[in-house]
Structures are given as C-alpha cells and as structure tokens.
Amino acid sequence: MQAYCMKCRAKKEMKNPKSITMKNGKPASQGLCPTCGTKMFKIGKG
C-alpha cells in the first residue's frame, strides 16, 4: 500500500501496514517509511 511520507516528501510503499480505526470510527492504515522510518498514515480502507 502506498502512502505519503511527510519527511521524504514523496509517495512510497508502506512498510508493515496495520489496519486501525480512528477516534471517529473511520478506518485507516498506519505503517513505516522504508527509507527514513517515519510513521506513515493513510485514511480509508486498504
């Protein structure tokens, strides 16, 4: 799954993506950037 890395300023393939639910009940995915290790976040089912 691809997400935008705020540190690298580019779309990259997410490493170790996990499905989570936000506080408002909507689905999202959270993982790590393969280059810099920063948390990546993508809203929506994936």
Query: What is the distance between the alpha carbons of residues 21 and 6, in angstroms, rounded to a whole number?
Result: 21
Model confidence, pTM = 0.79
Query: What is the distance between the alpha carbons of residues 16 and 33, in angstroms, rounded to a whole number?
Result: 9
The residue written with tokens 């994936």 in the block is 46
Note whether 28 and 43 are within 8 A (CB). Answer: yes
Mean pLDDT of 3-19: 95
Structural domain count of the chain: 1
- pLDDT above 80 (res 46): no
The domain in which residue 13 lies consists of 2-43
Q: Pick the closest to residue 28 from 44, 13, 14 (CA basis).
A: 44
pLDDT tens-place string over residues 16-31: 999 999 999 999 999 9
- What are the backbone dihedrals phi and psi of residue 21, each rounded to the nearest 5 degrees, phi first? -120, 130
Residue 14: pLDDT band with limits 50, 70, 90? very high
